[in-house]
Amino acid sequence: MRVFVYFEGSCEPLDIPSDQTVGALKHLVKETFLVQLSDDEQVRHYLELSYGGAALQDSWTLSDLTVTSGSAIRCLIKRERRPVIHVFNAVTGETFPVVGSEAILHMSVAGLKTMVSVKSGLPVSTFRLSRPKDVQLYDCNQLQDYAIELGTTLRLDTWDGWVEFLRGCLLGQRLTVQSHLSEERTVMRFQLRVALYIAASLGHLDLAGWLLEKRVHAEEPVGVHPYRQWCHQTAHRDAIKCPIHAAVESSQLQILKLFIAKNLLALACRDPVGRDPLKIAIQHGHRDCVRYLANKICSVISLPNMSLPMRVYLQMKYWVRVGQKRAASKLLLSTSAAVKDRVGGMLLVDGFNQPQMSSKSRKAETKLKRGIRAKALRHLPPISKSVNPGDLEETQKRWKQDVKHMDGGPEMGDSILFRGSTVAEHQEKMPSTS
């Protein structure tokens, strides 16, 4: 069949079989129009064929696309930046690119984790980055300290037993998230904050609403894993980001409305840089979020016998909350004290023990714990010399005789039996009360 290909203002008819693939047609277009694609280390040029306004994939065949004789196909030269670094996500099993200039190779590991967090939707405290040979990248170091080169593929791993939980969060599956929560209270509360952050970033309304009912606050920082509470001073700066910030950065207007309707204090919640949600929305250019937040902040709160501007009301509520926290800490009734680490809990310190972030499934973790428990409850081996019941009876008789010789009277067991029989005889002699 004959099709017409348009390229840079010119049109050429091409006779091709109906079952030809798009990739083969591209080679024919290159030869017909003498197209030369220049590539360098940072930018890649490639041909794109479009039919009916849709871009065609190389593996597709023209017959499957209902391309008939006389159809017009448009050809364009596209350019895209080559990824500086690739990251394999062990949670989703996919590899995504980190695009930018070569300056990325000279940034800190913490800066790269911020970019990866935005790209993947995961909080920075839920994953670690490592080189192919399982060399962990620490936040305080530079990428050039690990000899990271252009095109290197890094690996993203999460906490052991968390893969199914995070997949449920990314897909917005409330039942999956609920069934994979940890049995430890401190870890479970951390997981709930992580789930709300991901739901806010990806716009999962059902999951976010359920988490708010579980008393997870949108203005509460995600924080660090309870196992790393003692190292929180050296934690990533973005560990104190809140779900409200993730919702604004991702322009999730419905999630934003849900959070503010639950608690107005979310309007004044500041990120690690000191920006409130309105300033974040302005810097990211999200007009709908800016319009909604500006209307909320400029509104008036009606109270009994008085009305207050929203900013004044938020400041007063903030002072009240600070006072309540201070009073609770003095009386040792702070709710945060109930979920702190305790003696005997797990403690992880960088460079001193295994990070427990190798993306093991929950089933593998359960098998490992069962193996440790079974090893701890293993039965004691039998004694080497067997005991004969007859020998035990002879030993008891010999012990009774020794007691008689020492006391010169009846044995304690005999006296008890004698008293028991005396009581029984006395009960028989007593008249019946019935």
Asked if 242 and 234 count as a contact pair (C-beta separation under 8 A), the reply is no
Better-scored residue on pLDDT, 433 or 112: 112
Helical packing angle, 163-171 and 185-202, nearest 10°: 30
Q: For residue 41, give both structure tokens.
A: 């280390």
Entry pTM:
0.70
Residue-level pLDDT at 137: 92
Environment class of 394 (CB within 10 Å of its CB; exposed 0-12, middle 13-18, buried 19+): exposed
How far out from the chain centre does Cα 162 lie?
7
Q: How confident is the model at residue 45 (pLDDT cuts 50, 70, 90)?
A: confident
The rounded distance, in Å, linking the Cα atoms of 128 and 239 is: 13
Better-scored residue on pLDDT, 152 or 405: 152
Asked if 71 and 16 count as a contact pair (C-beta separation under 8 A), the reply is no
Give every CB contact of residue 192 below 8 A, 6+ residues apart in sequence.
181, 211, 214, 216
Residue-level pLDDT at 335: 47
DSSP-derived secondary structure letter, 378: P
How far out from the chain centre does Cα 193 lie?
9
The rounded distance, in Å, linking the Cα atoms of 201 and 210 is: 16
The rounded distance, in Å, linking the Cα atoms of 400 and 387 is: 20
Environment class of 203 (CB within 10 Å of its CB; exposed 0-12, middle 13-18, buried 19+): middle
Q: For residue 408, give both structure tokens.
A: 């010169």
The rounded distance, in Å, linking the Cα atoms of 287 and 293 is: 10
Q: How confident is the model at residue 249 (pLDDT cuts 50, 70, 90)?
A: very high
Q: How confident is the model at residue 344 (pLDDT cuts 50, 70, 90)?
A: low
The chain-wide mean pLDDT, for the chain, equals: 81
Domains in the chain, ordered, with CATH?
2-81 (3.10.20.90), 83-158 (3.10.20.90), 179-291 (1.25.40.20)
Residue-level pLDDT at 90: 93
